Amino acid sequence: MIYCFLANGFEEIEALAAVDILRRAQIDVRTVSMNDDLFVVGSHDITVKADMKAADFDDTMSDVTGAIYPGGMPGAETLSTGENKLPVNVARYCVEKDILVGAICAAPIVLGRIGLLNNKNATCYPGFENELEGATYTGKKVTVDGNIVTGRGPGCSLDFALALVSKIKGEEEALNIRKTMQCDE
């Protein structure tokens, strides 16, 4: 299962585009509320009902096949330094097991602040480059380095999500999704 972590102030399009496109590709993904309930308010006052609460997460991580971290503020900050360490622990687990980690906009700080981007190429929203500790900043819309996919910002959400699909199911599936969504080149 791929988990998409949502904290108040998350960037709605980044989270929901990733979840939507992965589900179109028939990839199991669940949204995780970092709140005490299922409801999370995005940075543009859009309330989303998550699939589960962080409190209900299986600490063994036995079913984790990937993690997605949307940007937006203060959502990305909460995922990175909040009281609940689940997002950081899952990121570490994913990197340790060499499984998919996706972070877009400000959210690569979750990875950078704990050294998970050392010797990796990464991108992020302009102004957060110094938070990508040990990474080579690319400035590209989407950067893929091994099991880590990073995206620059909201306008790159579809490309970011399609890069996730490509890592999981291959480039052909990503191209098929792109075509059916009428965003082929």
Positions marked active-site: 105
- For Cα atoms 28, 115, 13, give the angle at the middle one, nearest 5 degrees: 40
Please choose, from the candidates 185, 161, 182, the residue with its C-alpha nearest in 3D space to the C-alpha of residue 27: 161
| Dihedral sign (CA 85, 11, 161, 36) | positive
CB proximity list for 140: less than 8 A, separation 6 or greater: 123, 152
Which amino acid would we find at residue 51? D
Which amino acid would we find at residue 144? V
Structure tokens, 143: 């950067």
